[in-house]
Chain A
Amino acid sequence: MKQALSLAVLLLLAVGLASALRGPSVGAEANRTALFDDQKVNFGRRYTSRAREETGAPNVVASVVVTYRGLDTLGEVAVLFIAATGLATLLHTGRQRVSGTAPEGASLIVFTGCRFIFPLILLFGAYIFVHGHLTPGGGFQGGAIVASGFLLVYLGCRDREPSRRRLNALESLSGLAFVVIGLIGLAAGGSFLLDFLPKGSLYALFSAGIIPLVYVFIGFKVGSELGGILGDLSGARR
């Protein structure tokens, strides 16, 4: 009964989607040749043609993420922060922590390997988020790579796990830094998240104004938050 009902709902949805896509289809491809092209605003074309001059970053996605849609990114960082905080709240309130069976230690090879690889992963993550405005990647990807380094630690060498207090402090401070950068823009030019730093020369590491700075903070924040989430769910000691 439930299954049949669900299938009926899905069928309805599928028909709706198919009819929505019929005819001249949606998407940038269709918009490229649309009729009312002359008067229509198109974010994509505007950004690909102007972003390099306006922000100084060759990676257009990075300039969209940090500059044009910076408020979204701030909100998204806040969402991840909410998830990390909420997860810690849900897992640790209203009960005493049941100290389950201690996870068995990994073998010597795994242990040593983890200890050896962990700094390299951190370095790679840092490379990704520092170069976010030049190459594919950026704060989120670099942060996720840093967090996967923590995943390795939680799996392979538990006694090396990072201090939770330091992770929490790091995520708060980097979030705060993002807000402060935005407010400096407001004070300097009357507009939140305004790029108040010089653009520098194209393709240089120190260029593109606030984009690398913001990406570094996002990288720290995402890395420490995802690391904290992993630590909480794996039942690490606090």
Chain B
Amino acid sequence: MVSPILLIAVPLGLAFITPLLGLLWEKPTRYLPAAGMAFNLVVGLLLLPRVLQEPWVVRTAGFPPPFSIHLMAGPLGVALSLLIALVGLLVAIYAIGYVREGAVARYHTLYLLLLTGATGMVLTADLFNLFVFFEMLCISSYALVGYSGDRAGIESSAKYLIQGAVGSSLVLLGIGFVYGLFGTLSMADIARHVGSISPMKVFISVAFLVTGFGVEAAVLPLNAWLPDAHSSAPSSISAILSGIAIKAGVYAVARVVFTIYGAGTIPLLLLVVGVLTLLIGEMSAFSQNDIKRLLAYSSIGQIGLIVFGLGLASVSGVRGALFLVVSHALAKALLFLSVGYMIYRTGSTEISALHGMGRRMPVSSLCFTIGAFSLVGLPPFIGFPAKFTVIMAALEKADPGFTALAAIVLLGTVVEGAYFFRIVQALHFKAPPEGAASEQTEHGEAPVSALVPVCLLAALIVAVGVYPAVLTDYLGPAAMDLLDKAAYIHHILGV
């Protein structure tokens, strides 16, 4: 019998095995993350039809909720863990060939534990358990950002660590307040009693939680670490940090705001923060000359858009936000992965070094172009229906304020289009820099183990872009999972 707990237990067990295997024989350790994520993908696909009918509440230690930690494998949880498994699997395949230097077995251990933390976060229904998995995610990303051990990596790891550690302490403080107020840690149970406590106190506890999780989610005032961390990490880790880790932070914020607090005034704040984050991110990305920093700032912009969709607090808005989560995870992973070997071949992260890449690394460049166009939101790619859903949700409100905000979002898209077209032009239509042609032998295409995941991601982006229906069927239930507080309480507590 498959149980959702396997999604957490099996990768965790594999992560414990990895260093053991590494002691005996280091070579096969690099296949373990891919194996774990493939397992999760299969289990997730088996679970999906069942949880769409009725969410699966998993007990631990055999006690009925809320008296022990329980997991809530609802449509949202399983869909997000599928996304994590999919992106994690493809990046793991990429990393088989890409990560060669340093302590390889340790890299794969940390990578598996990062993904386990993210999976646990989206599945758990217990506030403190959410914190523990959040810490697993954060601490392994601190270590992986500094994996290469160079100056930039260590420095950005230090910054990320300081801000992340303070954020985690704030989360813990918030949990302390919540426990003091409610005497319980089950999110459903807290949600049930939230109305009986004075709103001021609830607000303060929620403010701590949102601020703390917001550090990882990289919303506006709390994202100083992101450009450094995402640009200094190895490309495979940048892909996971941008594709998965931030989303986990956003998920935690959304879960706290919508499920615990219930949609109140906070979504309005999210709306403003989202638009500001979008604008700052896109503007900063526009002025970058470093390709990885540009992609990192573009992640900030996209997170702004996702938070904007969540802030609409309507079913269509949240659906759009979830659609964007999927599309951004795929597209940004694709961009970082395809850029990884370009940087490896040229030895530089400057955009000017990428001139003429379209001739030297045609497949990577083509896939990069697909990812870039998808992020901008051009029609045949997945980014288009995603952005379209969010904009439509904003216009649906039929309020001049929301329409104005939607216009600002479109402005951000224009800026995004401008800088991505600049790169695409550099890739395909500029002559390669002097001297590059002489070392032609080094400038070949990326190896097959890197091209397979890149091409698969590109294919997925096009496929879902052409038939958005394969995804939209699941987004509605997932959005309801997040928004419908009463159903959430009912499924877990049975009241």
**Does the CB pair A26–B180 fall under 8 Å?**
yes
Q: What mask results when residues 387 to 425 of chain B are scored 1 for a CB within 8 Å of chain A, else 0?
A: 000000000000000000000000000000000000000
Is there a chain A Cβ closer than 8 Å to B109's Cβ?
A: yes
In this complex, the member of A54, A78, A169, A193 whose beta carbon has the largest number of chain B beta carbons within 10 angstroms is: A78
Count A interface residues, CB 8 Å: 65
Q: Which residues of A contact B101 (CB under 8 A)?
A: 93-94
Q: List the one stretch of A113-121, A123-131, A145-153, A176-184 in contact with chain B.
A: A176-184
Q: Which residues of A contact B379 (CB under 8 A)?
A: none
**Does the CB pair A172–B16 fall under 8 Å?**
yes
Q: Which residues of B contact A186 (CB under 8 A)?
A: 3, 5, 9
Q: Which residues of B contact A54 (CB under 8 A)?
A: 63
**Does the CB pair B184–A43 fall under 8 Å?**
yes
Q: Which residues of A contact B23 (CB under 8 A)?
A: 165, 168-169
Q: Which residues of B contact A20 (CB under 8 A)?
A: 177, 200-201, 204-205
Q: List the one stretch of B143-151, B431-439, B453-461 in contact with chain A.
A: B143-151
Q: Which residues of B contact A23 (CB under 8 A)?
A: 198
**Does the CB pair B189–A72 fall under 8 Å?**
no
**Does the CB pair A41–B149 fall under 8 Å?**
no
Q: Which residue of B lies closest to A37 (CB)?
A: B183
Is there a chain B Cβ closer than 8 Å to A189's Cβ?
A: yes
Taking the nearest CB of chain A, how far is it from the CB of B225, in angstroms? 17
**Does the CB pair B106–A173 fall under 8 Å?**
no
Taking the nearest CB of chain B, how far is it from the CB of A85, in angstroms? 5
Q: What mask results when residues 14 to 56 of chain A are scored 1 for a CB within 8 Å of chain B, else 0?
A: 0011011001011110110000100011111110000000100
Q: How far is the CA of A185 from the CA of B62 in the complex (A)?
A: 9
**Does the CB pair B183–A89 fall under 8 Å?**
no
Is there a chain A Cβ closer than 8 Å to B136's Cβ?
A: yes
Partner of A78, one of B15, B150, B180, B189: B15
Taking the nearest CB of chain B, how far is it from the CB of A93, in angstroms? 4
Partner of B132, one of A43, A72, A180, A192: A72
Q: Which residue of B lies closest to A178 (CB)?
A: B16
**Does the CB pair A90–B201 fall under 8 Å?**
no
**Does the CB pair B68–A40 fall under 8 Å?**
no
Q: How far is the CA of A193 from the CA of B135 in the complex (A)?
A: 21
Q: How far is the CA of A94 from the CA of B8 in the complex (A)?
A: 32
Is there a chain B Cβ closer than 8 Å to A155's Cβ?
A: no
Q: Which residues of A contact B124 (CB under 8 A)?
A: 71
Taking the nearest CB of chain B, how far is it from the CB of A33, in angstroms? 12
**Does the CB pair A79–B135 fall under 8 Å?**
yes
Taking the nearest CB of chain B, how far is it from the CB of A154, in angstroms? 21
**Does the CB pair B67–A43 fall under 8 Å?**
yes
**Does the CB pair B68–A183 fall under 8 Å?**
no
Binding site for B on A (CB under 8 A): 16-17, 19-20, 23, 25-28, 30-31, 36, 40-46, 54, 67-72, 74-76, 78-79, 81-83, 85-90, 92-95, 165, 168-169, 171-173, 175-176, 179-180, 182-183, 185-186, 189-195
Binding site for A on B (CB under 8 A): 1, 3, 5, 8-9, 12-13, 15-17, 19-20, 23, 58-63, 66-69, 101-103, 106-107, 109-110, 113, 116-117, 120, 124, 126, 128-129, 132-133, 135-136, 139-140, 142-144, 146-150, 154, 157, 177, 180-186, 189, 193, 196, 198, 200-201, 204-205, 207
Additional pairs, 8, CB under 8 Å, beyond known A89-B143, A182-B9: A41-B184, A46-B67, A70-B60, A74-B12, A79-B135, A82-B140, A86-B143, A94-B149
22 chain-A/chain-B pairs, Cβ below 8 angstroms: A26-B177, A40-B182, A42-B184, A43-B67, A46-B67, A67-B61, A69-B128, A71-B129, A75-B120, A75-B129, A78-B136, A82-B143, A89-B107, A90-B157, A94-B102, A168-B23, A171-B19, A179-B9, A189-B62, A191-B60, A192-B60, A193-B60
